[in-house]
Copies of this chain bind each other. A is one copy, B any other.
Amino acid sequence: MNIGTAAKKSGLSVKTVRFYSNIGLISPDKSSDSNYRIYSIQDVEKLLFVGKARKFDFSIEECRELLSLYENKDRPSSEVKKITLKKIKEIEQRMAELDSLRTELKRVSKNCSGDQRPDCPIIGFLAEKNRS
């Protein structure tokens, strides 16, 4: 099948699928006469795999690694688990960061009247010189 069909089946955009081909993540055969990319069912399955991994915040390089594990039937499950646990840790760290930002922003916005008066503690907070 051509790239448009593969894109549709995998739920990715043509641009994205072509991008994955260009970076050697999922490289289909090429028709020698028309230079069109030709995708197999297996390629579409890999596209679906990567599409899902991307949704779960794995980077392209992580996807590359997961994909090679996916293709290697003898992979030890410990490899996959390691990558996943690392990702969970990253997510939790980012969540903690965001949580402290949110707390601080809520704190300063609570004291802001939000009306026509120019007095604004949020601006004051941002303008504060912190002694850290």
Q: What's the least CB distance linking A88 to chain B, in Å? A: 5
**Is A102 within 8 A of B92, CB to CB?**
yes
Per the CB 8 Å criterion, the residue count for chain A at the interface is: 52
Given contacts A102-B91, A102-B95, A123 and B70 within 8 Å (CB-CB): yes
Number of chain copies forming the complex:
2
In the assembled complex, the Cα of A101 lies from the Cα of B91 at a distance in Å of 8
16 A-B pairs whose Cβ atoms sit less than 8 Å apart in the complex: A52-B128, A53-B126, A56-B101, A70-B123, A73-B118, A77-B114, A77-B122, A78-B114, A80-B122, A80-B123, A81-B113, A82-B114, A85-B109, A91-B102, A95-B95, A98-B98
Chain A positions within 8 Å of B, measured between CB atoms, are: 45, 48-49, 52-53, 56-57, 66, 69-70, 73-78, 80-82, 84-85, 87-88, 91-92, 94-95, 98-99, 101-102, 104-106, 108-109, 112-120, 122-123, 126-130
